[in-house]
Amino acid sequence: MAYDASLVAEIVNRVMAQCGADTNQNGTVPVGVSNRHIHLSQQDVETLFGKGYQLTPCKDLSQPGQYACKEVLTIVGPAMRPIEGVRVLGPVRSSSQVEISRTDSFTLKVKPPVRESGDIAGSAPITIIGPKGVVSLKEGCIIANRHIHMSEEEGKAFGLKDGDYVNVEANGERRTTFYDVQVRVHKAFRLEMHIDTDDANAAGIGNGAKVKIIK
């Protein structure tokens, strides 16, 4: 039998399409647990660490272009009870932002809203202390909403688009359903659901656990 390249290509395409359909039916997503962290503008980087300072990447994160930095800082709220060793994530942003858990908010005595990362208008104030200076944010402290990153291809496989909301079932030590999980679709994203430490501990799951999308 003669080799037919076009026939082979067609078969490969059919198999790949079926794999996409199977992924959609299975609906499983890996979990990334997000601890408290800080995003900084370059202006605030220089206030906290000194003029001309550049953040030092030390570990790539799951989403392309995102990384944990060597730098850690202290955050303080109205209670004047500090939380030390809060990791800075890069790259720099246009505005500084602190993401904490609800449990952290009790320690700091702040009332952060649950928001999508970057949506800081009218959020809670917070003070960041560095080795060379202090930054007092009038707004910028939030609790990040539960969300799922996925590429455009993965979005198609799941039948979802950017801005959709889904429920997610976690079969950990304590079976849990997470409601109103935001879907974030972008060509540069990789499939992963992000939850904070409170949600992860409540469900008894950790990094790499698999959860299932329920439409």
Q: What is the pTM of this model?
A: 0.84
- Sorting pLDDT into bands at 50, 70 and 90, what band is 213? very high
Q: What does the pLDDT read at residue 98?
A: 98
Is the confidence at residue 47, as pLDDT, over 50? yes
What mean pLDDT do residues 51-62 have?
96
Is the confidence at residue 161, as pLDDT, over 80? yes
What mean pLDDT do residues 9-18 have?
44
Burial status of residue 7 (CB atoms within 10 A of its CB: 0-12, 13-18, 19 or more): exposed
C-alpha distance across the termini of the chain, in Å: 46
Quick one: CA torsion of 187, 70, 83, 103, rounded to 10 degrees? 30
Give, in degrees to the nearest 5, the angle at Cα 66 between 203 and 60: 80
Q: What does the pLDDT read at residue 215?
A: 75
Q: Which residue has the higher pLDDT, 146 or 20?
A: 146
The percent of residues above 70 in pLDDT, for the chain, comes to 88
Q: What does the pLDDT read at residue 26?
A: 67
The residue with tokens 């909403």 is 145
Write down the CATH number for the domain with range 28-33+146-214.
2.40.40.20
Of 85, 175, 98, which Cα lies nearest the Cα of 141? 98
Residues 77-92 pLDDT 10s: 998 999 999 999 999 9
Domain boundaries, the chain: 28-33+146-214, 35-144
pLDDT averaged over the chain? 90
Give the list of residues 6+ apart from residue 89 with CB closer than 8 angstroms, or none.
37, 38, 39, 61, 66, 67, 68, 69
* 111 membership: H or E segment, kind and range: none
